[in-house]
Structure 1
């Protein structure tokens, strides 16, 4: 009998079982349970053999071709996964960041972040991370990867990313030293060595000559990373509308300053201080502020907000660059409403932020945007709506001169009752001090685009009529706000 005939006519289950049972009985009837298990196992194998196809195709080359095709498919999928690896990681990090933000905002109240108010995150200092959220990692980093592979022995920094076109960095003669530590706060200062001081004197002579061409030789021959020369030349390029070169020079200055940081100096802790009154420290403040403004114009409000927090953390008591007049606008543009409301709650008692027109109007606007977020609970939404209405009415009573210029910038015509009422008329703007007029003009010119939303305008109109009712009723609150 051939092998094919034996496979075509296999014995039945009963015949195999009887044969094995007879052998087991002849051997003494041992292991009866094993006979049953073996019989069932053989039955399953018989069914599997019956389900198998004809053995002749198994000897052909078709399965080998299929295996090759599978390998090529896996390889192509692997290449696709490698190409999209960076985008997948960025999307996962963004989801994790979003979920963390929601969990902090939705637990039993609007503010639940336990970190320090001016805590700075390293990843938010890089504008490429924000641009990748808008355009994708491939569009932002596609042309930069080969250059980054070619550049070697580059010191890693957080404030800027060094470029191949920059001069090779060497010690510039700037150092940072720790002055003292008081109540958990560390006070630092920059220090210029003697060689750097000589370059600084030549820079001052070049500035007095009123010729920008005298600054270029300082960077080419003496010190390519002289901070003040880089910042001054950046202003010249900006006035000549060479924005790319101006931004690049500011980044070089920041890179030079960061390379001279003290080992203990931390950008993120919010407990490191620099005294702006020392001339050596001013360049760092100015470089950060110029970089912040370039980031805002570039369309990176979240990164600009992080640099704004960094500047404020260096000297929060004095705020030498007045970033408090800017931080509310950046918070609204970056949609960091919780940060703005938290800052108002924590600093109002000792800084009187409600006396500034920008905070008086931006904080209720932030509460209004919070009240429009559907992922919040009904309690949080009602609390946000109540605070938004109360604070915007208080702001309109305290700064009535803001309403008409704001509506004018938004191309909105007020109704007859508002336009004819003396409370929001021209007298409100004439009677206030010139400094307050300047603050209101700065706020309206900077943030009017945030008020153009139809929902915001409808909410503002409702509260304006509420304020007029309070004014007509001669509420004591109106007189109290006039004397503040």
Structure 2
């Protein structure tokens, strides 16, 4: 075998030498072009990822050293006749190859398909309405890079150390090896599936979750409505959490046993947010909960974020609402206002717009003002979603430098709903001659006025906004007639009460009675009257639920013997580890490429079990 190889190599070198000698008389310019073309042909992948450099002009009299190096490069490549067409092809494909990388899209990868990716990008970038959800904008990394560049706002390594400092050295080593296949290179890949996470990236120090314990089901009564469902093992942990919560017992120890139980994660994160401590740990806990829901969404081919309904009456869905709301709080603390607004739109889209169980209409305008999204505010004002929107539009226009439009918008806002203006004037200490007749007021008007001022007072207290408000408030003529807006502006509905409770402002709780008098649990605050809670009743009511499509292949119950492909792959992994001394997870990465996608999760489970036993 070796002698045959030597003969082949000798013949190849002789042919290359003859070809090189024949091409030496070629002119210098064509030789330089051939060398450039050869370098393009050798490394197409690298050139598609890097910025193309300008090709230098060849000198009229190249040195002998450069000529000899060029000749040696040419001789290595063999015949150079097909070089010229290769020279132009990569140049044409450079721009399309690098363009999709900047979008940060988490769409499922396709083959060839810049047109398909471009189409998907256009669909996401042009929503149906200004309140439609654009999934790529749910990734906070886009806004972080736009504002701060390529820097990190929080220390992931420090967070990792806080969560792994209780592990033994062997456990840390095992966790490090498992993380090589946990999340993939983009940290958005789930083992056993080609789909990508949209809401969150997987942290390498998270405990790998081999199979999802939550999935998505479609309600048989409404094809467009869905419901999260729990596996038996997840339900066991949820029942333990509910029992401990009922008697006031701490549930922190359940985190070690059920690291992906959403109720436990939300409670621990909420405690950290309410006390103002451990913000990075709270963010990490909420991101884990988001991962649980995002992976569950991958089990359905029909449920689409921003388009599908997850009715608030189901306790499993309410956990999703709560997780998203806590994450909004974290994003707002980091100043990522556009991402915060996008997640607010997502909560708003989960149930009927008229219901709006979390009262997103009372906070989306605040995030839009901070992020400079005047279009969203105008749309909400046209829909008359809430009475404070006219004030927010005036503030957004003023911050955008449109002073005349801002003044006109503020006059209209004061005439339409003057109670907010009165409360703002009192808070800013603005002198005025207006008198508010409190005898005809009600709790809904006062609550909305107080809520708006608490959120936006600091914005109006800047010199320019305060000057405009003082000017308009002292000159505009208005009355307190309650007939200038829709009826829900003046009614204390369940949506407004729940929003006042979850806002965390103690001064607003008096307006939310009697909801605020009931037991308030941080993981499920203010359940609806039409509450469907399988854990409070102790029974699983699944009669109105039908499964919505196949899952990601890792969630199937594995009863009986393993599939022959899995058994063969396990034997191959053991052989590579024993005979070649290969690391178990490196062997898994190599062997799993030949295993069907639906079986990779099962294979990983068996590998982890065997690895843990060792």
**TM-score normalised by length of structure 1:** 0.62
Instruction: Measure the CA separation in 1 of the matches of 2:462 and 2:424.
Output: 13
- Residues 380-434 of structure 1, C-alpha deviations (whole Å, 9 max, x = no match): xx7xx2xx54542243234434335424544xx534xx2xx2x3x3x44564213
Instruction: Measure the CA separation in 2 of the matches of 1:449 and 1:201.
Output: 44
SS in 1 for 2:317: helix
How do residues 212-361 of structure 1 correspond to structure 2 at under 5 angstroms?
212=250, 215-221=251-257, 223-240=258-275, 241-261=277-297, 262-268=299-305, 270-315=306-351, 316-345=353-382, 347-348=383-384, 353=385, 356-361=386-391
Instruction: Measure the CA separation in 1 of the matches of 2:212 and 2:65.
Output: 70
Partner of 1:27: none
The number of aligned residues is: 350
Instruction: Measure the CA separation in 2 of the matches of 1:134 and 1:148.
Output: 34
- Residues 217-240 of structure 1, C-alpha deviations (whole Å, 9 max, x = no match): 33323x221111111122233344
Q: In structure 1, which of residues 135, 138, 142 is the aligned counterpart of residue 148 of structure 2?
A: 135
Change (3 A) 1:149 1:228: closer
How far the C-alpha of 1:365 sits from its partner, in A, is 3.0
CA contact (8 A) 1:130 1:302 kept: yes
Which structure would you say has the larger RCO, counting Cα contacts within 8 Å and 6 or more residues apart?
A: 2
Partner of 1:403: 421
How do residues 369-448 of structure 1 correspond to structure 2 at under 5 angstroms?
369=399, 372=402, 385=405, 388-407=406-425, 409-410=427-428, 413-415=429-431, 418=432, 421=433, 423=434, 425=435, 427-428=436-437, 431-448=440-457
Q: In structure 1, which of residues 440, 449, 464 is the aligned counterpart of residue 458 of structure 2?
A: 449
Change (3 A) 1:60 1:181: same
Instruction: Measure the CA separation in 2 of the matches of 1:250 and 1:93.
Output: 25
CA contact (8 A) 2:127 2:134 kept: no
Which of structures 1 and 2 has the bigger CA Rg? 1
Change (3 A) 1:267 1:295: farther
Q: In structure 1, which of residues 363, 384, 387 is the aligned counterpart of residue 393 of structure 2?
A: 363
**TM-score normalised by length of structure 2:** 0.50
CA contact (8 A) 1:364 1:389 kept: yes
Instruction: Measure the CA separation in 1 of the matches of 2:288 and 2:322.
Output: 13
Q: In structure 2, which of residues 211, 214, 222 is the aligned counterpart of residue 174 of structure 1?
A: 214
- Residues 272-291 of structure 1, C-alpha deviations (whole Å, 9 max, x = no match): 00111011211111001111
Instruction: Measure the CA separation in 2 of the matches of 1:363 and 1:396.
Output: 12
Change (3 A) 1:393 1:141: closer
CA contact (8 A) 2:337 2:371 kept: yes
How far the C-alpha of 1:141 sits from its partner, in A, is 10
Indicate the RMSD between aligned Cα atoms, in angstroms: 3.9
How far the C-alpha of 1:446 sits from its partner, in A, is 0.5
Partner of 1:54: none
How far the C-alpha of 1:92 sits from its partner, in A, is 7.2
Structure with the larger helix share: 1
Instruction: Measure the CA separation in 2 of the matches of 1:149 and 1:192.
Output: 25
Q: Which structure 1 segments of 5+ residues have no match?
A: 1-57, 68-87, 95-111, 374-381, 472-476
